[in-house]
Structure 1
Amino acid sequence: MYRFAKAALNLSGQSARQLAVRQKSDLSSAFHAKYGTPLLIAGVAFCTGVWAYVITSTGISWNLSPVGKVQPKEWKE
């Protein structure tokens, strides 16, 4: 981070851009190559688990369609 701050103070700014691009490409590609798939799988598992809990355990009324369940009342004159 010190190198980036030092390069950011450069008046031309060219070295700061070069350093930022170099750091980003090195770190992000290595991070995604190492942790990308496990993080994706963990995120899908977490999301699936939370939705399974919400659907089965919270008692939310889901407003299912009343078609075929609601009968009209008799007409009163």
Structure 2
Amino acid sequence: MFRFTKTAMNIAGHGARRVGVRHGSQTSADFHNKYGNMLMVSGAAFCVAVWSYVLTQTGITWNFSPVGKLTPKPWRVPGGEEEE
């Protein structure tokens, strides 16, 4: 089992190194300076819009407690006769 784990870790590490070299950052830091804040603000606005729609329009009831609203059914006696 140890040899299998060691080999698997070596293969995974080697693959990660290859992917890191192949997919190096190709965008300039200029992109983040230009569009970074706009993307964050638009993403936050989208998130707020979706959640406000979900909370107000979908009719989902959120975690209301059933305590005091449900009453237990009376027990049935196995013989068919109810005790009083």
TM-score w.r.t. length of structure 2: 0.49
Structure richer in helix, relative to its length: 1
Deviation at 1:69, TM superposition (A): 2.5
Partner in structure 2 of residue 60 of structure 1: 60
Matches within 5 A, 1:1-77: 24=26, 27-62=27-62, 64-75=64-75, 77=82
Moved over 4 A (4+): none
TM-superposed CA distance for 1:74, in Å, is 4.0
Indicate the RMSD between aligned Cα atoms, in angstroms. Answer: 2.9
**Structure 2 alignment gaps of length 5 or more:** 1-20, 77-81
TM-score with structure 1 length normalisation? Answer: 0.52
> Aligned residue pairs: how many?
56
Q: Which has the higher contact order (CA 8 A, sep 6+)?
A: 1
Match of 1:4 in 2: none
> What SS does structure 2 have at the residue aligned with 1:59?
coil
Return the letter of the residue paired with 1:43. G
Question: What letter is aligned with 1:52?
Answer: S
Runs of 5+ in structure 1 lacking a partner?
1-16
